[in-house]
Amino acid sequence: MIQKIMFMNGYGVFVWFSFAITFVSCAIIYIKTLRTLKKYENEYAKELNKLSVSERKIVLKKSKVASQVFASYNKSF
């Protein structure tokens, strides 16, 4: 039974290889996107740190994006 699933009448090699390529490609895209997101979050945090305390509080109150980005951020602003 398992051999039939693995070999698929001679096409199993192609099918399982295509599954592997798809999985690896999706994993690479996910990792690259996650790294880019972290990079932009860090750049945004550096820009936010350059502001004064009162300006920073105003930006964090008005901006939905800033509050979402820094909801899980370790530093307190």
Q: Give the pLDDT confidence of 41-65 residue by residue, as tens digits.
A: 888 888 888 989 899 888 888 888 7
Return d(Cα 63, Cα 77) in angstroms, integer.
Answer: 14
pTM beyond 0.85, yes or no? no
pLDDT for the residue numbered 19: 96
The full set of domain ranges for the chain reads 2-69
| pLDDT > 70: percent of the chain | 90
Q: Count Cβ atoms below 10 Å from residue 69 Cβ, excluding itself.
A: 17
Return d(Cα 42, Cα 25) in angstroms, integer.
Answer: 26
pLDDT for the residue numbered 61: 86
Confidence of residue 77 (pLDDT cuts 50, 70, 90): very low
Average pLDDT, the chain: 86
Q: DSSP character for 51?
A: S
> For the chain, what is the largest distance between any 2 Cα atoms, rounded to a whole number of angstroms?
70
